[in-house]
Amino acid sequence: MSYTNADSDQSWAARALCATDTPDALFVQGAEQRQVRARCMSCEVRLECLADALQSEVKFGVWGGLTERERRAMLRHYTDVTNWWKWLTTSEDPLALEIREPRVPHVLSKVRG
User: In sequence order, what E strands does the chain have?
Assistant: none
5 near 48, Cβ under 8 Å? Answer: yes
- On whether the CB atoms of residues 76 and 54 are closer than 8 A, the answer is no
Feature table: binding site for [4Fe-4S] cluster: 18, 40, 43, 49
Binding residues: 18, 40, 43, 49
Widest Cα–Cα separation across the chain: 38
- Ranges of H-type helices in 1-113: 31-40, 46-56, 68-77, 84-90, 94-100, 107-111
